[in-house]
Structure 1
Amino acid sequence: MTNSLDLPKAPADTRVVVAMSGGVDSSVTAAILKAEGYDVVGITLQLYDGGAQPRRAGACCAGQDIADARRTAEIIGIPHYVLDYEQRFRESVIDPFAASYLAGETPVPCIACNQTVKFRDLLATARDLGADALATGHYILSRPNGAHRSLHRPADLDRDQSYFLYGTTQEQLDFLRFPLGPLPKSETREIARLHGLEVAAKPDSQDICFVANGRYSDVIAKLRPEANEPGDIRHLDGRHLGRHDGIMGFTVGQRRGLGVASGEPLYVVAIEAATRTVRVGPREALATRRLALRDVNWLGDAPLAPGSGQEVFVKVRSTRPPAPAVLRMTPDGEVEVELSGAESGVSPGQACVVYDGEGAGARVFGGGVIARTSLTEALASVAA
């Protein structure tokens, strides 16, 4: 006989650590588990101190969030602890983010945060506290799968956070629980109201806790002053169009703020970090159909192996629905994705997440970081 978390214990004998960010989702997660009789312990991570710097509305981990998490814990009657993870966060998330950005990539820092600080370091702390599980307020499903658990898209696809959680390892997944996976957001807020939680109407976090004003470039300039080194802006056809003050001010797909005059609409199509060159071109140049992945995390039942290719669905952006693709591993062990339809503005550093379907409940097979696209390969061959 198992409890609602698929653990062979009575709820009262099951300790669950809940990662409490101070938002409505993690607060409701704690409230649901407490109401079901679990031994719940709330933990809030202090990840980044923005000081007196003004913050963008909706940014997570602001100073008020710790107070909100503490107040929620008081209302539902659970112990609550705040852990200083600032140094870990700096080393595992902020520094790699800056390095990736300077390499001309478009990194997704909240993926790294989930992979490291939250699901590696906090999970280890939860085990130290004698927990049987670590629960979070993410909108994603996990289900028993033989001796392990599998990861799936949630019921509320508008809130699907699988793109940010593909890097969860099998060992982590077996210990994690996601009580909000079956719920729509509207029901989550209603549960918060029923429990008298003051965060019931709190705006959603944007998962950019170390970017106070919403501008990545300001953070990069502070961490890596060399990012301000100027370089050329060149058309794909080789024309020199102008100069820029640093590649940190550009991302693939950007149209506004290029600082060059042209008779056609131009977009950033590639950033060549080695020469500090920003390549621009027409919108159609942004289209790509082939990706090469690195740092692949695979959650399928059978390991990836060289072969003819596996029909899957993939996401290359968190806001896009999964699209058909073919996944294959080359004889030398590299994972490639062939998209059925071209995707626009895909950049190295972004994630490509792999599914077995496209709807609610589709299984997450894992994914990886985009190392190259067909466009970056073509530019590299020209440069060579």
Structure 2
Amino acid sequence: MIDPNKIKLLATDAISLLQSLIRTPSFSKEESGTADILVSFFKKHNIDAHRYLNNVWAVNKYFDKSRPTLLLNSHHDTVKPNPQYTKDPFQPVMEEGKLYGLGSNDAGGPLVSLIAAFIYFYNAKDLPWNIVLAATAEEEISGKNGIEALLNEEEFLSTTGTLNNTFQNWSAIVGEPTQMELAVAEKGLLVLDCIAHGKAGHAAREEGVNAIYKAMDAIQWFRNHRFPKESETLGMVKMNVTSIITDNKAHNVVPVTCQFTVDIRVTDAYTHEEILDIITASIDCEVKPRSMRLRATAIPLHHPLVNAASEMGKGYYGSPTSSDKALIPFAALKMGPGDSARSHSADEYIYLREIEEGIEGYTRLIETTFKKVQ
């Protein structure tokens, strides 16, 4: 049974930690200060924390390499503050049951709630699964020195018994603001830089081949095309042209090149390679993917975490946004306190009650899961 008094004490501690994190700027690639705070926090709780770059991680006291492992992961980097802030983004102000501050909702609230849940189980003996807590960097930019780097780091692999880097029998809860609903699937991200090539000429004499017009034909294709296969949990593949620029600034010269960027949210109905093949066969442009790393992901609906959550009465959905879930090479469930609609907004906040509810929800989910697998 979950101890409500212990949850309340952990919530008080978690809110204090979140206030410290808000006071400390932690833009992506600049998270050293918050990493220091997290290491000190674990030390205060007599937990041996490890650090690699700006990633901080710890394992439960009675870690046993022969057991399956549950990774609790969230990030401590933030975007830069929205210019429409009316409050100091680095001042953790409490008003009317809300805690304001940059990163309070995305993903400070989920992070400190996961840390509290980790502490709740830290000293427990004979857990059916190990628990690993990872507070990672560079999530907001899908950087390579965040969760991806940590999961390939030698000390992490050695300590957790995964030197062969296969992560067999690992599962994860990724902390993001989902109002504690279950995101069982998540769209991948494919960003394309497309270049339409024309031929220079004098605009008055209608010479050359206008690269803008070629780009317009391609953009019209992106606007109208519908991929026929639809994902059960993620729906349709979505494509949006988000920027356009030419090489030419003169009004009287037909532009030679026109470059535009396409943001594609990929479902599990297609691979990145299949999407790319369809596009290159359909438009008369040079197409360059920026990255093929952020794949669509889904946790099996029969997974113990999903079964446990269903037993708790929770529904599930497919998330249109990407997170570090895309970079975790094993089954991962995305959930956490807070609301995704508040992320990256001016005067970001999280309700104080959401943090306590997040801690209680995480601990109950873990306890229910462990009972089902024993």
- TM-score between the two structures when normalised by the length of structure 2: 0.26
Structure (1/2) with the larger helix percentage: 2
Report the structure number with the largest CA radius of gyration.
2
- TM-score between the two structures when normalised by the length of structure 1: 0.25
Structure (1/2) with the larger strand percentage: 1
- State the structure with bigger RCO (CA 8 A, min sep 6), 1 or 2: 2
